Structure 1
Amino acid sequence: MTETPARTRGRIRAAFTEAGVTGWLHAADIDSGAQLDVGADQPVVTASVHKLCVLVALHQQAEEGLLDLSEQTVCPPPGRTPGPTGLAAMLDEVRLSLRDAAYLMMAVSDNTAADLLLRRVGLDAVNHTTRRLGLTRTHAVHTFGDFLALLKEDTGPGGPQALTDPRVVAGLRVLDPAATNRSTPRDMTRLLGAIWRDEACAPEYAASMRRLLGLQVWPHRLASGFPFDDVHVAGKTGSLPTVRNEVGVVEYPDGGRYAVAVFTRASSPAAVLPPADAVIGTTARIAVDALRARTT
């Protein structure tokens, strides 16, 4: 007997509670339109998930002939956006194409690569892209460098160690969807569906974006819920103090394609919370299993 949507939602909420997080989720069958939601229209802080919007804007401009993805750019060490990966962690001058910067932005969430692309594309163009795709609740306010500067300002003289203090975390503007880059789970699955159905860009450019999303290296969130050799998961994570997010697409060998967006806030400010990471995969699996059961 197929589980009722109410029962599925209850299981998802229980999983969030057990992991010590508040969570919001939307899952959609990309082809049939069947969907399941748990607070899918809640405004959420996107963090690095917003790099997906940058990626789409980049490829739309390439399609329109405003730039060439093979265009070369030089990234000197001074002035790089802070971060632990990619160009942000490198010490020497780097020359690379816009296409390869997009790879670093998506595969290892490279903040410097993201801001390099934003300087070429423009923040206004990113917001134009989301508006034209009907993502009415998705908006970029900050570059990633500005975003991190705001975080540093609110953290104060205590530096990163202050982020273990719940009082400091409570005052962070980067955790307020009204004050920074934001979206909703439903908007994010709509964007993913547009990419997978070749609606966001011409097929050539949509395929390029799907490839890059499939190269993300982090397996501990969305992908952890689908530990099968024949199931492909492509996604983009986002992280901040107490925030762990991922949006992505799960593809089955029978042709089933499911867009999933999971956004969470943890009650603990601890930087390492494996249950909070894992529940993203757990709840995504519950939702996708429920959608698949409706078609059998």
Structure 2
Amino acid sequence: MNRTLHRIGAAFAEAGVTGRLHAVDIDSGTEVDAGADHPVVTASVHKLCLLVALHQQAAAGRLDLTEQVEVPPADRTAGPTGLAAMLDPVRMSLRDAAYLMTAVSDNAAADLLLARTGIDGVNEATARLGLTRTRAVHTFRSLFAGIREDAGPAAARALADPQVIARLRALDPARSNRSTPRDMTRLLGAVWRDEACTPEHGAAIRRLLGLQVWPHRMASGFPFDDVHVAGKTGSLPTVRNEVGVIEYPDGGRYAVAVFTRAANPAATLPAADAVIGTTARIAVDALRAYSTGSMPDRPVRRTTGAGPGV
């Protein structure tokens, strides 16, 4: 095993997680593959697919992102952020709901938008981009209802039990919203190259991903004022994910997708969060070293075709 993949594997092991990673230079197609084609549960990372579908439909004139919608408190998907945590009636535009869905991973905002695009619309958007292993199968309301049903009468307390965790359908890629790390970096590459949407809508998507508030995962690996990280997290019991793009001041831009499962069911595991940033940094450093010819063991390879991972 080459040095870079060994370092990534060792970092995952030290953090107590199993991990899958794909990183790609958006412009050259050079990649680091650490389980890039392994099926994974996306959790809230799938909101990126919804965001792309929303903007594709807006570009086609099928919806107006400035349309105002009423969001009564009694009809919101549960969650700890955004609309889901608010107590009073809200009136806002679709594009502001997209901001909440992306920046703070608001489940209520996501389901509001999903009601407009439709699950089929999200799957059509990803299929159009060649993401053959990416599929949405349920709303976020349904996702969490399934977790409650599978957990049984003990509800949230049962999620500390490994036997309960093992039976959660939400954690099975065959029965939940799913993708692969390679599909997700391909999607990010398409957004950054304005292949997923028109340039106007691509810029809007990139702006929202750059407004994500969580610094404890991928961004933690790049603590520099002149390096920009834009991404989307995803979390479920034992699952911690993030996909994003890291942009350097010299023009280098790298799409990275990291999906992890922890052995420990605790909700708070700082090491499991931080390893997403650690492994992303290892991968990006390897890509940057390769591009300058300073990489001693060639742990990366150059892909061919229309986009990263093709």
Distance 2:129 2:148 in 1: 33
Query: Aligned residue for 2:168?
Result: 172
The partner residue of 2:209 within 207, 213, 232 is: 213
Deviates more, 1:29-38 or 1:5-14: 5-14
Query: Aligned residue for 2:37?
Result: 41
Query: Aligned residue for 2:110?
Result: 114
The alpha carbon displacement at 1:272 in A equals: 0.5
Query: Aligned residue for 1:123?
Result: 119
Query: Aligned residue for 1:7?
Result: 3
Q: Which amino acid aligns with 2:221?
A: G
For the pair 1:69 / 2:65, whether they are aligned, the reply is yes
For the pair 1:160 / 2:128, whether they are aligned, the reply is no
Distance 2:120 2:155 in 1: 31
Query: Aligned residue for 1:147?
Result: 143
For the pair 1:84 / 2:43, whether they are aligned, the reply is no
State how 1:55-66 maps to structure 2 within 5 Å: 55-66=51-62
Q: Which amino acid aligns with 1:234?
A: A
Root mean square deviation of aligned Cα: 0.6
The partner residue of 2:283 within 287, 291, 295 is: 287
Distance 2:208 2:193 in 1: 16
Q: Deviations over 1:150-171 (max 9, x none)?
A: 0110011101111111111111
Show structure 1 runs of 4+ deviating over 2 A. none
Query: Aligned residue for 1:196?
Result: 192
Q: Which amino acid aligns with 2:169?
A: R
The alpha carbon displacement at 1:58 in A equals: 0.2
Gaps of 5+ in 2: 293-310
Query: Aligned residue for 1:242?
Result: 238
Distance 2:11 2:127 in 1: 33
The alpha carbon displacement at 1:6 in A equals: 1.9
The partner residue of 2:20 within 7, 10, 24 is: 24
The alpha carbon displacement at 1:69 in A equals: 0.7
Q: How many residues align?
A: 292
For the pair 1:278 / 2:270, whether they are aligned, the reply is no
Q: Which amino acid aligns with 1:12?
A: I
The partner residue of 2:97 within 92, 98, 101 is: 101
Distance 1:102 1:229 in 2: 26
Q: Deviations over 1:231-290 (max 9, x none)?
A: 000000000000000000000000000000000000100111000000000000000000
**Identical-residue share of aligned pairs (%):** 76
Distance 1:98 1:80 in 2: 15
The alpha carbon displacement at 1:70 in A equals: 0.4
Gaps of 5+ in 1: none
Classify the secondary structure of the residue corresponding to 1:26: strand
The alpha carbon displacement at 1:125 in A equals: 0.3
The alpha carbon displacement at 1:213 in A equals: 0.1
The alpha carbon displacement at 1:79 in A equals: 2.3
Distance 1:212 1:151 in 2: 29
Distance 2:240 2:151 in 1: 19
Q: Which amino acid aligns with 1:80?
A: R
